[in-house]
Amino acid sequence: MTGNRGKRLNQYISDYVVFDLETTGVRPDFDEIIEISGIRVRGHKAVEEFSTLVNPGMHIPAAASKVNHITDDMVAEAPELAKALGDFLEFVGSDILVGHNIHSFDLNFVCRASMRIFGAWVANDYIDTLYMARKCLPQLSHHKLSDVAAYFHISTAGAHRALADCTMNQKCYEELGKILKQMQKTQPQIQCPKCGSEMVKRKGMYGEFYGCSDFPRCRGTRKI
């Protein structure tokens, strides 16, 4: 078993792969991936798509099908995860990954599956637009992808199918990136000395300090 999971970044970049999964549930140690999609972006423009259903080798619960509209019949002839994930990782290459809530959800599924099948973590650095949305749109009470899309008047048609969510997410990232770029002109980003992630203000028993936003994976700190 080799490698480490990539770092979470908070940047506006021009070249990346935005990706999304659909699964049988929310537990990566029990549930399975049933759809993987990605969009390659170059110069802020979508240039290539990847999308495949995945045969999970198990029944898709009705609760999952109700959300993503993927049924057992739809995945019966789909490739198994080893093939689908291998093709997806080849599509991604060394690109930075972008997605919504991927820090806590999608990457947990992908990394766990990659370790199980290939014996290695997915080491690509990544940008989670959920964290970006919380930073750039603090006025919103909720920051689900559909909430962010609605704020920017971006269509949510086809939501909860992986490729449609990728399209929505890519457009949201570009809008969030413009806000982030303006914010960073007046509020320069402080990078963690240990891992390079953004640092945020925290309060401890001895007062305020900067702590790594990737805590608890990284425990980097800095005095204010």
Residues serving a catalytic function are 160
Q: Which residues partner with 51 through β-bridges?
A: 37
Helix residue spans in the chain (DSSP H) = 62-68, 72-75, 81-92, 107-118, 129-136, 145-151, 162-186
Q: Tell me how far apart the alpha carbons of residues 11 and 45 are, in angstroms, rounded to a whole number.
A: 17
Distance of CA 50 to the CA centre of its chain: 16
3-state secondary structure of 213: coil
CA distance 34 to 48: 21
Whose tokens are 């994976």? That residue is 217
